[in-house]
Chain A
Amino acid sequence: MGGSGSRLSKELLAEYQVRETRSPGSLRAACARERMVPVPRPGGWARPLAPGGLLTLLSRFAFQDLTFLTKQEILLAHRRFCELLPQEHRSVEESLQARVSLEQILSLPELKANPFKERICKVFSTSPSRDSLSFEDFLDLLSVFSDTATPDIKSHYAFRIFDFDDDGTLNREDLSQLVNCLTGESEDTRLSASEMKQLIDNILEESDIDRDGTINLSEFQHVISRSPDFASSFKIVL
């Protein structure tokens, strides 16, 4: 049960290489490029690391083009990421290759008090067992939660964060878990069973357009577009 809908799987990449040799015309004609398919490496990198300072590395890897972060924010993110690594692995090249475990990321003050912290880390993690974040995953996280990210991408990732069972839709269990995360587990804030049922009924009534009992991504984005303070609350700044 993958649900890792944002990863081009290794099989897919390999298929691409195969398909390229088999039928070079189909996609090549559309994309108009040479036969150039990156070879997936264990760390997920597609080209060899070049020596050099951090700034040249960052400009080489074009983080500014691939994220919504400014250069200062990327450098700050790199500094904070390096603080989570053990002392001996803090060189520039190693930090770009290393992965940090989930517990360490969850210890960041920006995430510590967040009820969705485990879901956030799971969603952005690209490791096979979804339990560690690389620097690029961390940058992806900050990019989606930054000020300048488009509402579309924010709502897309919000959907994936709220989808607790990773099945691609928000069903009643997802919604009930979401509400429990929001209100907390203490006795005076927890909603009773009937209140929870009424709340979820109201939510589904309003947002489930095709009446199938679940909320899919486009319905979710439609609902979110009617809430102007979503973009300002869905923000994490280091």
Chain B
Amino acid sequence: MQRQWSLQAPGEPEAEPGGEELCEQEMERLCLSQQPVRVLPYAMVDKRFIRQLREPEGVKTSCWQQWRRRRQTVGRRLGEAARRLTRGCGLWEGALYEIGGLFGTGIQSYFTFLRFLLLLNLLILLLTSGFVLLPLVWLRPPDPGPALNFTLQCPGSGHLPQPGVSKFNNLLWNVFTGRAFNNTYLFYGAYRAGPESSSTYSIRLAYLLSPLACLLLCFCGILRRMVKGLPQKMFLGQDYRSPLSAKVFSSWDFCIRGQEAATIKRHEISNEFKMELEEGCHLLLLQQQTRAQRACHLLTYLRVNILIGLLVVGAISAIFWATKYSQDNKEESLFLLLQYLPPGVIALVNFLGPLLFVFLVQLENYPPNTEVNLTLIWCVVLKLASLGMFSFSLGQTVLCIGRNKTSCESYGYNACDYQCWENSVGEELYKLSIFNFLLTVAFAFLVSLPRRMLVERFSGRFWAWLDREEFLVPKNVLDIVEGQTVTWMGLFYCPLLPLLNSVFIFLTFYIKKYTLLRNSRASPRRFRASSSIFFFQLVLLLGLLLAAVPLGYVVSSIRSSWDCGLFANYLAPWQVVPELVALWLPPPSQRILYYLGSHAFSFPLLILLSLVLTVCISQSQASSRAIRRLRKQLVWQVQEKWHLVDDLSRLLPEPGSGDSLGPESPVSRGSRPRSFCPGFPCPGSPGPRPRGNPSASTLGAPDSPCPALKGLPAT
């Protein structure tokens, strides 16, 4: 704890009372502190000593202390067990360990994300089956009475009211399109329940609330993980980049084993540092531009973004037309192709889009970080916009959203073409989910694998240029988030879709692991684990919001099918809730509930939240002002201290032979450990400094590559 030299330096005056007091204070503090011994940064022998000092053997510990210690151990064990549970009980630990050892934590974070999504899907499945399926199977509610008489003039003679009769009765094809499962619990249509009463379990309420509850839980879970991975930006007036020093100190992955992996990691780190330095220079140059140059620069930004925006608009309109065409021509002879046309177009768009974006962005010569971020943002926008457009165009054909068609007027949905529209929508999402998975498998085995084999077999400039596939983490993450968004969209129409998604994620893990270990090469651009956690969770959150909005709209405003499912006699699925509230709750509670849902409650709540937000913001501003003041004070105090030390050494007598207070003795610079920090005793103070200006060596030299670098101020 205490510096060795203060006790061993020869010729020194007796250990000063100051030094002894320090040691004693430290020991007292350690004995009295409540921190567990394991947290102290000492060797085990010393920790044991401190432990003995706190609670010596032979001294009877009081009952309360024993109980407290037992409670701490139990708490610790419970915490460990809970942590293990949230990590999936050690699922795939060995594989993650191997991947982390070979490729570092950046790529390992993708596979950890897969595990997180698998657990999320299993949780959703558990909720759904626990609240909906099990009661349904157990209670066996009676079927509702016969449906209302249905008369509707449908345009187009010879138009079959039941488009479900297909010419192909191939079992495999029926499985792929979902027709085989039409009357199973996979889709909405098979769920039936009797009329509501005040004493039975309401399957309808459970079916309605479980997707909403699952989305809410997922939202909270994602938000929590996102906040944990939030890169700390300095909001104290410096530019909006994560600090370079933090990057440098945390750049090595200590879990890497294997010499080749270490070499690759060194290349990555070196590239990253060089890129950061380049970026810093670029930023400095930018800051020195005139206004006209800055305006020009902004225009070039605008140019490429507008171009890419136009491409995205074109892509999503292609998806719109594809979906409309596929829905309008369900009975064509080519409907094999048309069944999978929308997913096919989405996949094509999302394959070509990023390539085009990368090409266009590179034409502009941005700094590397900006290039990467811009491309990534546009890829995310394209992915989510294509899914959004797909669901909108489905809504247009099935529910006549945004256009007036006579077939929608009487029942609120296109009853001519769709007898059970929820099933149709569920089938579309089911097909999209399966298609995405098959595409993943196809790419892994029909593109990456032959590519690797060809590159290994042939040699030549073309093959050397082609090389193995790069394992790009963002692209893979976007694919898996798309699958998860589709699952969330389909929670209402296809309640067992999470089961399917879990199976797909499970298989995807092994396929991606195989691709990574055998058919890929590490990308030269480093992908940090921290920014990746934040990025993954952010994209997942956007997907969740994209899935929640249509669900909210459908649940609250759209008429359900008259003939199938649970909400056949309701104006909208949400109408079950007021009915049940009226049945189950006594009038006072009903009044309270209505008040909570009305405007009279939400306005005061909004005002209260704004007040709280204002207080938080002003607090944080005051804190940042205080931090700035304290920094200045610290710098000033250290400068003053060095001035005093210099004055003292000037005033001391000239060094003679054997005089212990010469410039080379460490005592001349003060025997107190200079860097004694609160909380932990520091490992010691710096050695003797060269006389003169302590920061002389840090002034900017004329040969630095960047002009006008800010050097350290001279004292």
Give the contacts of B226-280 with A (CB-CB under 8 A).
228-232, 234, 242-259, 261-263, 266-267, 269-270, 273-274, 276-277, 280
Residues of chain B within 8 A (CB-CB) of A207 are 243, 245
Complex Cα–Cα for A4 and B703 (A): 39
Whether A228 contacts B43 by the Cβ 8 Å rule is no
Cβ distance A74 to chain B, nearest Cβ, rounded Å: 12
Checking A139, A198, A212 against B705 with a beta-carbon cut-off of 8 angstroms, the contacting residue is A198
Cβ distance B47 to chain A, nearest Cβ, rounded Å: 5
Complex Cα–Cα for A172 and B48 (A): 36
Residues of chain A within 8 A (CB-CB) of B83 are 148
Residues of chain B within 8 A (CB-CB) of A198 are 277, 280, 704-706, 709
User: B44 at interface (Cβ–Cβ under 8 A)?
Assistant: yes
Residues of chain B within 8 A (CB-CB) of A233 are 105, 250-255, 529
Residues of chain B within 8 A (CB-CB) of A9 are 2, 4, 7
Whether B44 contacts A136 by the Cβ 8 Å rule is yes
User: B571 at interface (Cβ–Cβ under 8 A)?
Assistant: no
User: A191 at interface (Cβ–Cβ under 8 A)?
Assistant: yes
User: A27 at interface (Cβ–Cβ under 8 A)?
Assistant: yes
Complex Cα–Cα for A238 and B24 (A): 38
12 additional A-B pairs beyond A115-B262, A201-B704, beta carbons within 8 Å, are A4-B4, A6-B1, A66-B38, A110-B257, A139-B44, A152-B680, A156-B680, A195-B705, A198-B705, A206-B244, A211-B639, A227-B250
Complex Cα–Cα for A166 and B642 (A): 22
Complex Cα–Cα for A115 and B261 (A): 12
Complex Cα–Cα for A137 and B682 (A): 20
> Would you mind naming 8 contact pairs between A and B with Cβ atoms under 8 Å apart?
A36-B57, A156-B41, A160-B683, A183-B273, A189-B269, A194-B705, A197-B704, A225-B232
Give the contacts of B663-708 with A (CB-CB under 8 A).
673-675, 677-687, 694-695, 697-698, 700-701, 703-706
User: B600 at interface (Cβ–Cβ under 8 A)?
Assistant: no
Complex Cα–Cα for A152 and B31 (A): 19
Which of A75-83, A84-92, A98-106, A215-223 makes up part of the contact surface?
A: A215-223
Checking A8, A156, A217 against B675 with a beta-carbon cut-off of 8 angstroms, the contacting residue is A217
Checking A12, A172, A220, A228 against B231 with a beta-carbon cut-off of 8 angstroms, the contacting residue is A228
Whether B53 contacts A31 by the Cβ 8 Å rule is yes
Residues of chain A within 8 A (CB-CB) of B280 are 198, 202
Complex Cα–Cα for A224 and B54 (A): 31
Residues of chain A within 8 A (CB-CB) of B533 are 228-229
- With A168-B673, A212-B694, A217-B680 known as contacts, the answer to whether A8 contacts B46 (CB < 8 A) is yes
Cβ distance A238 to chain B, nearest Cβ, rounded Å: 10
Q: Which residue of B lies closest to A224 (CB)?
A: B249
Whether A182 contacts B269 by the Cβ 8 Å rule is yes
User: B216 at interface (Cβ–Cβ under 8 A)?
Assistant: no
Give the contacts of A110-124 with B (CB-CB under 8 A).
110, 112-116, 124
Q: Which residue of A lies closest to B714 (CB)?
A: A211
- With A8-B1, A168-B685 known as contacts, the answer to whether A182 contacts B250 (CB < 8 A) is no
Whether A237 contacts B31 by the Cβ 8 Å rule is no
User: A25 at interface (Cβ–Cβ under 8 A)?
Assistant: no
Residues of chain B within 8 A (CB-CB) of A4 are 4
Cβ distance A16 to chain B, nearest Cβ, rounded Å: 8
- With A199-B273, A206-B243, A227-B247 known as contacts, the answer to whether A157 contacts B698 (CB < 8 A) is no
Taking Cβ atoms with an 8 Å cutoff, the residues of B that contact A are 1-5, 7-8, 23-24, 27-28, 31-32, 36-49, 51-59, 80, 83, 97, 105, 228-232, 234, 242-259, 261-263, 266-267, 269-270, 273-274, 276-277, 280, 528-530, 533, 631, 634-635, 637-639, 642, 673-675, 677-687, 694-695, 697-698, 700-701, 703-706, 709-713, 715
User: A131 at interface (Cβ–Cβ under 8 A)?
Assistant: no
Residues of chain A within 8 A (CB-CB) of B269 are 182-183, 189
Complex Cα–Cα for A70 and B79 (A): 12
Whether B266 contacts A210 by the Cβ 8 Å rule is no
Residues of chain B within 8 A (CB-CB) of A27 are 24, 27-28, 31
Whether B680 contacts A168 by the Cβ 8 Å rule is no
Whether B635 contacts A217 by the Cβ 8 Å rule is no
Whether A228 contacts B232 by the Cβ 8 Å rule is yes
Q: Which residue of A lies closest to B112 (CB)?
A: A232
Complex Cα–Cα for A201 and B54 (A): 45
Whether B682 contacts A226 by the Cβ 8 Å rule is no
Whether B46 contacts A6 by the Cβ 8 Å rule is yes
Question: How many A residues have CB within 8 A of the partner chain?
Answer: 109
Residues of chain A within 8 A (CB-CB) of B229 are 228
Q: Which residue of A lies closest to B231 (CB)?
A: A228
Whether A44 contacts B45 by the Cβ 8 Å rule is yes
Complex Cα–Cα for A3 and B35 (A): 24
Checking B23, B252, B266, B274 against A195 with a beta-carbon cut-off of 8 angstroms, the contacting residue is B274
Among A44, A150, A163, A232, chain B packs the most CB atoms within 10 A around the CB of A232
Residues of chain A within 8 A (CB-CB) of B254 are 114, 116, 145, 233-236
Checking A8, A33, A165, A182 against B251 with a beta-carbon cut-off of 8 angstroms, the contacting residue is A182
Cβ distance A88 to chain B, nearest Cβ, rounded Å: 25
Whether B638 contacts A210 by the Cβ 8 Å rule is yes
Taking Cβ atoms with an 8 Å cutoff, the residues of A that contact B are 1-9, 11-13, 26-27, 30-31, 33-34, 36, 38, 44-46, 62, 65-68, 70, 109-110, 112-116, 124, 126, 136-137, 139-140, 143, 145, 148, 150, 152-153, 156-160, 162-163, 165-169, 171-172, 178-179, 182-184, 186, 188-191, 194-195, 197-199, 201-214, 216-218, 220, 223-230, 232-237
Residues of chain A within 8 A (CB-CB) of B687 are 1, 165, 167
Residues of chain B within 8 A (CB-CB) of A5 are 1, 3, 681-684
Checking B36, B47, B228, B686 against A228 with a beta-carbon cut-off of 8 angstroms, the contacting residue is B228
Complex Cα–Cα for A139 and B638 (A): 39
Cβ distance B456 to chain A, nearest Cβ, rounded Å: 24
Whether B698 contacts A204 by the Cβ 8 Å rule is yes
Cβ distance B281 to chain A, nearest Cβ, rounded Å: 8
- With A27-B28, A202-B244, A212-B694 known as contacts, the answer to whether A6 contacts B683 (CB < 8 A) is yes
Whether A67 contacts B59 by the Cβ 8 Å rule is no
Whether B698 contacts A210 by the Cβ 8 Å rule is no
Complex Cα–Cα for A199 and B711 (A): 12
Complex Cα–Cα for A228 and B235 (A): 16
Complex Cα–Cα for A233 and B256 (A): 9
Whether B256 contacts A194 by the Cβ 8 Å rule is no
Among A113, A153, A158, chain B packs the most CB atoms within 10 A around the CB of A113
- With A31-B28, A137-B43, A211-B638 known as contacts, the answer to whether A169 contacts B675 (CB < 8 A) is yes
Whether A153 contacts B46 by the Cβ 8 Å rule is no
Cβ distance B250 to chain A, nearest Cβ, rounded Å: 4
Residues of chain A within 8 A (CB-CB) of B47 are 66
Whether A223 contacts B249 by the Cβ 8 Å rule is yes
Residues of chain A within 8 A (CB-CB) of B705 are 194-195, 198
Among B27, B47, B635, B680, chain A packs the most CB atoms within 10 A around the CB of B680
Q: Which residue of A lies closest to B87 (CB)?
A: A147
Whether B43 contacts A168 by the Cβ 8 Å rule is no
Cβ distance B695 to chain A, nearest Cβ, rounded Å: 5
Complex Cα–Cα for A216 and B280 (A): 25
Complex Cα–Cα for A132 and B681 (A): 25
Residues of chain B within 8 A (CB-CB) of A66 are 37-38, 44, 47-48, 51
Complex Cα–Cα for A191 and B272 (A): 11
Whether B638 contacts A3 by the Cβ 8 Å rule is no
Complex Cα–Cα for A46 and B529 (A): 43
Whether B677 contacts A218 by the Cβ 8 Å rule is yes
Cβ distance A204 to chain B, nearest Cβ, rounded Å: 6
Checking A68, A137, A163 against B38 with a beta-carbon cut-off of 8 angstroms, the contacting residue is A68
Complex Cα–Cα for A68 and B80 (A): 11
Residues of chain B within 8 A (CB-CB) of A229 are 105, 250, 528-530, 533
Residues of chain B within 8 A (CB-CB) of A163 are 683
